[in-house]
Amino acid sequence: MTEPRQYHITTFGCQMNKADSERMAGILEGMGYLFTADPNDADLVLYNTCTIRDNAEQKVYSYLGRQAKRKHSQPNLKLIVAGCVAQQEGESLLRRVPELDLVMGPQHANRLQDLLEQVDNGSQIVATEPIHIVEDITKPRRDSTVTAWVNVIYGCNEHCTYCVVPGVRGVEQSRYPEAIYAEMEELGRQGFKEITLLGQNIDAYGRDLPGTTPEGRNKYTLTDLLYFVHDVPGIERIRFATSHPRYFTERLIKACHGLPKVCEHFHIPFQSGDNDVLKAMRRGYSHERYRRIVDKVRQYMPDASITADAIVAFPGETEAQFEKTLQLVDDIGFDLVNTAAYSPRPGTPAATWDNQLSEEVKGDRLQRLNHLVSQKAMEKSERYVGRTEAVLVEAQNQKDPSQVMGRTKGNRLTFFKGDINELLGKTVLVKITEARAFSLTGERVESLVAV
Ligand code: SAH
Ligand code: SF4
Ligand code: F3S
C-alpha cells in the first residue's frame, strides 16, 4: 500500500484568505490528501498569500525559496501559490520561481481540484483571469469546531487610492441569501455556535444582485440578510466584518440592536482622522460622519465594542493631520485598532505620488499611535472588571492548559480555569477579575447560560 499523500497550507493575510484556505484544505482532503503541519513533510505545499503591504508580500518569497530548493531533490513535490500575490504577479511569479506548478488567484480557490488535474497532465498553470465565483459546494476543513466564517460578498468596488484589494479580489459578487442560509444551517447541524459573515466591504452586500423593493431599496441588503439568517438552528452568535463608514446605516444599527444573536461588536475602519487625508484616500466620508456613526451605535448599544483599522503616514500626511488621527482615537475610545504604516502598492494611485513620507516618519507615527491605542484599549478593558460576561469557549489556552479561552460578545479574548473537554463550544458565565489591554481573565460562575 502506498503512503497517503500529505499537504501543507500556510495562510497569510485576512479572514477572506483564511476562509479560502479552509475551502482549499477541504478540497485536498476530498482528494485523499492528509494535513501535515510541517511543509517539509508535504507532497503538496500551498501558500495562500497576501499583498496588502510590502512586508506581507516579501514573507512569502522567503518561504517559497526554501520549498523551491526542496523540489530539486523531490521533483514530485507540488508547489502552489494562491491568493492575492498570485493574482497580482501572475505569470511573473513563474519567472521568479520557475519551480512553481500552479499560480492561482483568490477567485479560483474553489477550482483547486480541477487546476491540479491540469498540473498532473504536465502543465504549469496560471489561473488569474476574472471569473464568476462558482458557488461553494466544497466541504471546508474548518480550523475551529465552534466558530466559522461564511463569505457573503466577494471582491470590492471601492478603489481607495492605497489599496490592492479591488485589483486582486475583483468586483463585488454577492451570494444569494438562500445559499448563505444553507451553509449556516449545515454549520449549525455540525455543532458550530458562532458565525462571522465576511466581506471586504460587507455593507455593499446585495447591491450587485437583481431586484428592488416597493420602496425602491435594493432587494438584498446586509440588514435584510441579518434578519433572514438570524434564526438558523444551533447558531448562537452572529458577527460580521468589515464595515465601511460610507454605507453604515441606522437601519443596520437598529437591526443589530433588535436581533439578540448579533454580537454588539462593530469593526469599522476609519483609516484617518483628517478630512483632507480621507479625501486623498478616496474614502467617501468625513471624520464628522464617522463620529456620528459611532454615536448612533452607542445611542442604541451603549456598551458596544468598536474596533477599526488606521493607516499612518499616508503620502503627504502632515504632522497636524496625523494628530487628527490621534485625536479621533482619543475621543472615540476604541476596543482595538489595527494600525499600519502606509505601504506603496503596485497598481494603486497613491503609490505613484511624489509626496511619499520617510521610513522615520512612518516608524515614529506608528509607534505614537500604537501607544495611544493600547492605552485606550486598556481603559476599555477595565470596564469589564467585576462584571459577569457570557463567554463562548473556543479552545484551550496554549500557554496554560488548565485554562480555556473564549470570547465575550464584544469579542474580548477571555481566559479562565476550566476543562476544555467539558467546555468546548459552551457559553458560560465568567466573572472578570483581571484586565489587560486586549484580553481578560476571570472565574467561571457555575451555571450554564441558557441560550
Ligand atoms: N475593506 C476594509 C479593509 C481592507 S484591507 C476597509 O475598507 O477598511 C485591511 C486594512 O489594511 C485596511 O483597513 C488598511 O488599514 C490596511 N491597508 C490597506 N492597504 C494598505 C496600504 N497600502 N498600506 C498600509 N495599510 C494598508
Ligand atoms: Fe480596500 Fe477600500 Fe475596498 Fe477596503 S473599501 S478593501 S480599503 S478598496
Ligand atoms: Fe491580504 Fe488579499 Fe486579504 S491582499 S488582506 S489577503 S484580500
Domains delineated in the chain: 6-127 (3.40.50.12160), 147-382 (3.80.30.20), 388-444 (2.40.50.140)
Which residue in 150, 211, 152, 162 sits closest to 186, CA to CA?
150
Given the DSSP bridges, would you call strands 147-151 and 78-82 parallel, antiparallel or unpaired? unpaired
Q: Where are the alpha helices (DSSP H) in 74-161?
A: 83-89, 91-96, 112-120
Q: What is the mean pLDDT of residues 415-431?
A: 96
Task: Supply the pLDDT for residue 218.
Answer: 87
Cα(128) to ligand 2 centroid in Å equals 20
Q: For residues 99 and 67, what is the distance between their CA atoms, to the nearest angstrom?
A: 9
Q: How far is CA 236 from CA 261, 340, 409, 439, in A?
A: 6, 33, 11, 22
Note the ligand closest to the C-alpha atom of 202. 1
Nearest ligand 2 atom to the CA of 271 is 7
> pLDDT by residue (tens digit) across 245-285?
999 999 999 999 999 999 999 999 999 999 999 999 999 99
87 lines ligand 3 (CB under 6 A): no
Pocket of ligand 2 (CB under 6 A): 156, 158-160, 163, 165-166, 200-201, 244
Task: Supply the pLDDT for residue 450.
Answer: 46
Cα(159) to ligand 2 centroid in Å equals 6
Note the ligand closest to the C-alpha atom of 160. 2
Q: For residues 39 and 62, what is the distance between their CA atoms, to the nearest angstrom?
A: 13
Nearest ligand 1 atom to the CA of 311 is 15
Given the DSSP bridges, would you call strands 6-11 and 34-35 parallel, antiparallel or unpaired? parallel
Cα(200) to ligand 2 centroid in Å equals 7
49 lines ligand 1 (CB under 6 A): no
Q: What is the mean pLDDT of residues 208-216?
A: 89
Q: For residues 211 and 204, what is the distance between their CA atoms, to the nearest angstrom?
A: 15
Q: Whose C-alpha lies nearest to ligand 1, atom 8?
A: 269
Q: Whose C-alpha lies nearest to ligand 2, atom 5?
A: 158
Q: pLDDT band at residue 449, thresholds of 50, 70 and 90?
A: low
Grid cell in block for residue 254: 437598529
Nearest ligand 2 atom to the CA of 164 is 1
pLDDT > 90: percent of the chain: 90
Q: pLDDT band at residue 447, thresholds of 50, 70 and 90?
A: low
Neighbours of 54 (CB within 10 A): 12
Note the ligand closest to the C-alpha atom of 346. 1
Q: How far is CA 98 from CA 101, 124, 212, in A?
A: 8, 9, 50
Mutation test residue for ligand 2: of 14, 50, 88, 163, the one with most atoms within 8 Å of CB: 163
Task: Supply the pLDDT for residue 448.
Answer: 55
17 lines ligand 3 (CB under 6 A): yes
Cα Rg of the chain (Å, integer):
23
Q: How far is CA 306 from CA 270, 274, 292, 327, 432, in A?
A: 11, 19, 13, 16, 20
Neighbours of 291 (CB within 10 A): 16
Q: 82's torsion region: left (phi>0), alpha (psi -120 to 50) or beta?
A: beta
**Helix (H) and strand (E) counts for the chain?**
14, 19
Mutation test residue for ligand 3: of 11, 51, 267, the one with most atoms within 8 Å of CB: 51
> pLDDT by residue (tens digit) across 101-159?
999 999 999 999 999 999 998 889 999 999 988 776 678 899 999 999 999 999 999 99
